[in-house]
Structure 1
């Protein structure tokens, strides 16, 4: 019997993988996709692309010598714990033979499969039948949240550890152990540790580690739910051992987080902290907070125009709207159901009972977690207490993907309850079995859910491939004209990361340079906040002759002007540079980039100064980075 169940579960995981692949292919129109370009090529997607390029080129993402020349890009100044995604980038880089575009797109597609697999496990723990669990897991993997994040926030798209971590939370709520078998009285310390860290304990440690390394936001969400769940379980089950197990899980999470940030901490101790690299406004936690009605409304690019118009009307009438969290129709129904269950539990007469392990019992647990998650993340909610301690925690609307999991699980349980009641109400013979009714309801749920969640942004824009190809051709031409390792200055200087938008462009656009070259080094992309990365802002204010002389002294072989990043389309700078450097030698096909070689300026500086003088002057210009 045990072997039969294992075989059945294996078939479910195969089924959910196949169905997810089909749904994602249809929703993204993958047969039309241009696989030689990323699916998304703007805004924060470029930051994730640069991480993939750096990891594949250098072995890891923390240091990119080809950016922020001559200082380099040192990501220790912008600490985060998303290393799991970069390990995946490293592995996929090997698989694709160093092709970062293929690795990048492949990882994005893999996030859908990984989410559906872990969601299936969580749903089975909740008690859903195989068929319904598969369908709900697929809908969770193609959640509107996933399309909203897409490759633009690739690491947030990798929310596949949330369902696995929520299994731990559900175990705590149910009063189940997180660790190993019961330890015999009188057992030694080693025996206790070995017992705790084998079996279920090993799984707990692994899940918490992978959760931390998949991103701090999801880890904080789960740990907060785990903490409150432990208190609720203590009140309900009167088990200090179970409460202690949850506390230990919290401590393990903190240890993993400290280990994840240890390289950044050691870097800051050696080179000094750089608070300016990671600025956050005091009101960001409110701006990016969860708004309940906004979460329940259709997406901005819903396939039904009237629904999209409703969302746009709401957005215009009730700002602010940040990141547009949307549950989708099926999850919204489940969310309303859970709110009703929570209200019903509060109104239930004292002394009434619910069978432990029943659907009603599980729905009650999901309702409690949903209400708790909403109270933490909503505007003015308890999450503000965390943000007061660390303003780095601001995107509380991202809790919507945790709520979506709970809501979808509730919807699946409700549909199975409907199937049972439906069969009892049928008087005609022969009556369909509950399993057959569940199969029909699951099919309808899949069709409705996929139709509702097939957002416009899920389909890659064909113009992206044209823009990518234009950049590829331009930078290839620049690189072919220069010796290996040459340095190129990028105009205008823009602090990275998280700078200001200019004409629809972002500071991440300067990272495109390393995506299309192999050896060239560039001035942009150094982490802001240190004088060694912000010296260009001062140099650009000098008279043109001094500006060019300083760039040549530092060692730049030419200048690329991002014309789109200027209000005057770069005409002012082109007019300044042309008398000294001549007309641009190369302009990209889309007219965005203009290339000015500086061979004459380099020759002038070489003739008028010695190498020692140039080195000393370079250190002065770049605040010690030269």
Structure 2
């Protein structure tokens, strides 16, 4: 037994050591760059009132109920049904992870923070196993996967776009393409289909991919699978070979439909609601398309080339969220390599793999670029997917994978070089190669880090504690389960900021309370939202009278939404009508008038 263990350890120790190294690199770079020494897990890393607020609300829901598609403490005097907002049903993998953290910690802020921080480790781990599956050296896989795990794209998106930051299944999409490209046994429709274990693995991959990335990542995966299928068909002339990619596409689509089925059933029973999410107009695909220049445009000049970044961003057209497309040092090298690989011979396994990646790479560029295939799809088929720049994370991964393959080949050549007689000379060459590549990877992570990925710890803590104390005071001043009307009326979702009040600041009341019911949150286009809008437009005296009749316990005001004169008039009128001084939060952002 002992001998078996020793033999196993000698064979596998490098795998375990390289895996641990990757985890250490990811944690160490995060700790340093994100200044995690200032982090308090019970304070949200991001608390700006934008999309980040929707994430912590999901975590709050998971601490109180099973899932996040309904809420009986929002949309008062009604309840909220989120079935119109289909993105709520299209990133179930990330929500499942958040649910686990919420159940364990029973704290929304902690659950959100752990969900976010875990993304980088999960991305690295999956990438590592993908690279090991295609026989890349464990140390090369470790370093390359750490670079992917801390990609500029993911850090730029952070918690606000957590549904896109959760791109840890992108490596699985690429692996499916490689399997279909290289192997004849994956997803081949024959009598032995269910006898091959690899097919169950591939189908499980399609399930994971379909429940990640709010339609974008499944769509991009289907696209590259079709590219692979066409490539395989063209090279072999066999329809059966091309059909394997189609099978994968069908399975991804099947699981996507399955995930949004509750929403479709709800729409059949309650009527469709086109107003809920406005994606009208193909022109938005031009606005949010990929720009090739931005694949090479850093997010952070580190004081060296900030001037040039600013010149481009201030003068170039259509600079939007597509600035997150930067590939990083390693990604740029890989991208250039893959462009050259389009024109090289394919007479070895390495060259064939690079050819596969180069075909995927150029196809993805053509899909995502402004005026490209994505724009034509939006014009002729559907404009519901508008931000094709988000395919850049797929481009980044195939680019990193290309570099990993080249370094892996270099290591193989050094090991197999019979001209170098001395074993020590080989070891020194391998160590030097590893050190140079390791330093390149660390530099790539540091250089690509966007400054906005570092949380504003002090500001977040001050506002979070102020809001928490304020809402708790409201809750303690009245009866459990009381209804609170919120001003200003604000459409949900995606209405946009009003003065200094960001889109989802009105979630603060729900987030920090235990039993209170809040008027904000009804889906626009539904009757509940129309009721809220009607009440919000009433003269203040009639509003107070009506809300009392409806059983509301008070009016909550987000003062950031009002100009100073407007706020003075509003609060002055309420003081006069109610003969009551308001509660005011410590940061003076919020006030509350009790009936």
TM-score, structure 1 normalization: 0.87
Question: Could you tell me how far 1:588 is from its partner in structure 2?
Answer: 0.8
Distance verdict in 2 for CA 1:37–1:284, change over 3 Å: same
User: Are 1:114 and 2:122 an aligned pair?
Assistant: yes
Secondary structure of the structure 2 residue equivalent to 1:557: strand
Question: Could you tell me how far 1:503 is from its partner in structure 2?
Answer: 2.1
Question: Could you tell me how far 1:10 is from its partner in structure 2?
Answer: 4.6
- In 2: Cα distance, 1:533 partner to 1:585 partner: 26
What CA deviation, in whole Å up to 9, does each residue of 1:289-319 have, x standing for no partner? 11110221010xx161233332222111013
How many residues were matched structurally? 576
Counterpart for residue 163 of structure 1: 171
What CA deviation, in whole Å up to 9, does each residue of 1:366-405 have, x standing for no partner? 1111111110011111112433433221111111111110
User: Are 1:587 and 2:584 an aligned pair?
Assistant: yes
Counterpart for residue 570 of structure 1: 567
Counterpart for residue 186 of structure 2: 178
- In 2: Cα distance, 1:313 partner to 1:122 partner: 39
For 1:227-242, list aligned pairs within 5 A: 227-242=226-241
Counterpart for residue 94 of structure 2: 85
User: Are 1:537 and 2:533 an aligned pair?
Assistant: yes
For 1:307-322, list aligned pairs within 5 A: 307-322=305-320
Counterpart for residue 467 of structure 1: 463
Q: Which of 497, 505, 510 matches 1:509?
A: 505
User: Are 1:40 and 2:46 an aligned pair?
Assistant: yes
> Contact 1:178–1:246 at 8 Å: present in 2 too?
no
- In 1: Cα distance, 2:30 partner to 2:238 partner: 44
Secondary structure of the structure 1 residue equivalent to 2:305: helix
RMSD: 2.4
What CA deviation, in whole Å up to 9, does each residue of 1:224-279 have, x standing for no partner? 00011101111113343332222111111111111101100000011111110011
Q: Which of 142, 147, 150 matches 1:139?
A: 147
Counterpart for residue 4 of structure 2: none
Counterpart for residue 498 of structure 1: 494
- In 1: Cα distance, 2:30 partner to 2:387 partner: 26
Distance verdict in 2 for CA 1:40–1:176, change over 3 Å: farther
Counterpart for residue 245 of structure 1: 244
Question: Could you tell me how far 1:421 is from its partner in structure 2?
Answer: 7.7
- In 1: Cα distance, 2:155 partner to 2:258 partner: 31
Q: Which of 354, 373, 378 matches 1:382?
A: 373
> Contact 2:484–2:552 at 8 Å: present in 1 too?
yes
> Contact 1:499–1:506 at 8 Å: present in 2 too?
no
The runs of 5 or more residues in structure 1 that have no matched partner are: 346-352, 599-626
- In 2: Cα distance, 1:555 partner to 1:580 partner: 17
Q: Which of 531, 536, 553 matches 1:557?
A: 553
> Contact 2:346–2:355 at 8 Å: present in 1 too?
no
Question: Could you tell me how far 1:573 is from its partner in structure 2?
Answer: 1.5
The runs of 5 or more residues in structure 2 that have no matched partner are: 1-6
Question: Could you tell me how far 1:427 is from its partner in structure 2?
Answer: 8.8
Counterpart for residue 621 of structure 1: none
What CA deviation, in whole Å up to 9, does each residue of 1:446-498 have, x standing for no partner? 33113213332232212111111111111111111111110111100110110
Distance verdict in 2 for CA 1:550–1:270, change over 3 Å: same
> Contact 2:84–2:273 at 8 Å: present in 1 too?
yes
Q: Which of 4, 18, 23 matches 2:29?
A: 23
What CA deviation, in whole Å up to 9, does each residue of 1:145-193 have, x standing for no partner? 111111111121111111112100122233543237x95xxx5xxxx46
Q: Which of 438, 442, 447 matches 1:447?
A: 442
TM-score, structure 2 normalization: 0.91
Deviates more, 1:454-463 or 1:46-55: 454-463
Secondary structure of the structure 2 residue equivalent to 1:558: strand
- In 2: Cα distance, 1:210 partner to 1:255 partner: 12
What CA deviation, in whole Å up to 9, does each residue of 1:121-147 have, x standing for no partner? 233345432111111100110011111
Question: Could you tell me how far 1:576 is from its partner in structure 2?
Answer: 2.4
> Contact 1:386–1:393 at 8 Å: present in 2 too?
no
Deviates more, 1:132-141 or 1:454-463: 454-463
Counterpart for residue 148 of structure 1: 156
Question: Could you tell me how far 1:581 is from its partner in structure 2?
Answer: 1.9
- In 2: Cα distance, 1:79 partner to 1:9 partner: 41
- In 2: Cα distance, 1:69 partner to 1:585 partner: 21
Secondary structure of the structure 1 residue equivalent to 2:112: helix
Q: Which of 355, 361, 368 matches 1:364?
A: 355
